[in-house]
Amino acid sequence: MLEYIRQAVFAFLLLAGLVIQITAVIGVNRFRFSLNRLHPAGMADTLGLLLMALAAAVYAGFDPVTLKIFFIILFFWITSPVCSHLLGRLIRETDEKHYEAEAKEWKP
């Protein structure tokens, strides 16, 4: 009985992570400006991969592998926002003409 509950939790976490990843792919393809594309990509990195890694941890059980999975989650949670921020700054600094045109379009 406990094995079925663990498999159900594993399936739920994996499917939730998959839905978030698919939603992020659709979001990245719908936005046309590169700075707008960073948001769904960043959400997929943090939340989608977190759910998928938690699913792997539930599937593995309490094991040394689970500790490694939690370190992977911690690494993604530290590096993903930093990477998105640096990419945004890089886009803003290198693509000024397109950035200014997009910024004027969004001003009220």
Task: Render pLDDT for 11-40 as a digit per residue (tens, 0 to 9).
Answer: 999 999 999 999 988 988 888 777 778 888
| Contact of 51 with 17, CB cutoff 8 Å | yes
How confident is the model over 35-94, as pLDDT tens digits?
A: 778 888 887 878 888 898 889 889 888 888 888 888 888 888 888 888 888 888 888 788
Provide the terminal-to-terminal Cα distance of the chain, rounded to the nearest Å. 58
Mapped onto helix, strand or coil, the DSSP state of residue 107 is coil
How confident is the model over 57-72, as pLDDT tens digits?
A: 898 888 888 888 888 8
| Contact of 54 with 41, CB cutoff 8 Å | no
Q: Which residue has the higher pLDDT, 85 or 104?
A: 85
Instruction: Tell me the pTM.
Output: 0.75
Number of domains in the chain: 1
Nearest CA to 56 among 47, 64, 66? Answer: 66
Tally the C-alpha atoms within 13 A of residue 64's C-alpha that lie toward its C-beta: 0
Q: Which domain holds residue 7?
A: 2-106
Residue 94, both tokens: 């290198």
Q: What is the pLDDT of residue 103?
A: 64
